[in-house]
Amino acid sequence: MIIDTHCHLDNKQYYEDVDEVIENALKNGIKGFLIPGADFEDLPQAIKLSEKYKEVFFSVGIHPYDAPSYDENIMKEYVKHPKCIAIGECGLDYFRLPDDEEEKLQEKQLQKEVFISQIKFAKKVKKPLIVHVRDASDDSKTILEKYGAHEVGGVLHCYNASEHLLSLSEHGFYFGIGGVLTFNNAKKLVEVLPKIPLEKLIIETDAPYLTPHPHRGKRNEPFYTKFVCEKMAEILNLSDEEVQNLTTNNAKKLFKEFSSII
């Protein structure tokens, strides 16, 4: 029994067979799905899926790459939906910043402003955050602490193995672990995983991206959480069942709405 806490089932890569993908996952023990809001264009599809399947929920937010399109009025409309259970994915991503120094500073500033706005919004509507952090651990941690994100908590999606972020576990934050854990070059994450409190671990795919071994190179899907679970069990010296129960219970604590279906 696994909850995939981060899968982009509203992505165009699933338009032709999303029902098959969901049904296959359900048949193989995936009991819940959370579609993160990365941009506003895909949200109608996320809502459609959440209304069709009791196991599917969604969140509303803007990915840092889409920061210019942030609109709180749109957020206010979508957050009213009963299947909207979180805010994000929001955060900071400094991986693809412009080379020009002035443009770089401007983009960083915009990302920060939009991130802060979504933290404030999450506190207003009392929903947890789905936080994206890439090459921006210091600024992300500073903003989360300064703007009181501990009031709602959340998940560090696709946790980047930065030990600097581990202390956020004491402030209501969970650590989303996905297919990267199975990669041969994920030595840092393998090393850091045992340092994360067990009660703060949750599983995700980031489907259709970051497909775990042995399916790297193919489209990812929620069913593949089983490979993440197996690798996590191996590293933590736990049984597969223990990891499933642990991460499912953790996901239900963070995203309480899953308790109504599991």
214 residue type, one letter: P
10 residue type, one letter: D
Residue 190, token pair as written in the block: 């393998």
**pLDDT 10s digits, 178-234:** 999 999 999 999 999 999 999 999 999 999 999 999 999 999 999 999 999 999 999
- Band (131; pLDDT cuts 50, 70, 90): very high
**pLDDT 10s digits, 173-183:** 999 999 999 99
Residue 216, token pair as written in the block: 């790297």
Q: Can you tell me the mean pLDDT for 26-34?
A: 97
pLDDT value for 262: 87
Phi and psi, residue 163, nearest 5°: -65, -20
* DSSP per-residue string spanning the chain: -EEES-B-TTSGGGTTTHHHHHHHHHHTTEEEEEE--S-STTHHHHHHHHHH-TTEEEEE---GGGGGG--HHHHHHHTTSTTEEEEEEEEEE-TT--SSHHHHHHHHHHHHHHHHHHHHHHHHHT--EEEEEES-HHHHHHHHHHTTGGGT-EEEET----GGGGGGGGGTEEEEE-GGGGSTT-HHHHHHGGGS-GGGEEE---BTSSPPTTSTTSPP-GGGHHHHHHHHHHHHT--HHHHHHHHHHHHHHHSGGGGGT-
CB 92 within 8 Å of CB 261: no
Sign of torsion, CA 35 239 162 223? negative
pLDDT value for 165: 97
**pLDDT 10s digits, 90-116:** 999 999 999 999 999 999 999 999 999
pLDDT value for 211: 97
Q: Can you tell me the mean pLDDT for 123-151?
A: 98
CATH number of 2-260, picked from 3.60.15.10, 3.20.20.140, 3.40.720.10, 3.40.50.10540 = 3.20.20.140
CB 180 within 8 Å of CB 210: yes
Angle between helices 101-125 and 137-146 (to 10 degrees): 40
Q: Can you tell me the mean pLDDT for 134-141?
A: 97
Phi and psi, residue 173, nearest 5°: -105, 140
**In a 10 Å sphere around its CB, with 0-12 CB exposed, 13-18 middle and 19+ buried, how is residue 44 labelled?**
exposed
pLDDT value for 82: 97
- Band (55; pLDDT cuts 50, 70, 90): very high
CA 88 from centroid of its chain's CA atoms: 8
pTM of the model: 0.97
pLDDT at 85 over 90: yes
Q: Can you tell me the mean pLDDT for 50-72?
A: 97
What's the mean pLDDT when you consider all of the chain?
A: 97
pLDDT value for 150: 98
Please name the residues in contact with 189: beta carbons below 8 A apart, sequence gap of 6 or more: 159, 160, 161, 177, 180, 181
- Band (4; pLDDT cuts 50, 70, 90): very high
**Percent of the chain topping pLDDT 70:** 100
Q: Can you tell me the mean pLDDT for 55-67?
A: 97
The 3-class secondary structure across 203-242, one letter per residue, is ECCCECCCCCCCCCCCCCCHHHHHHHHHHHHHHHCCCHHH
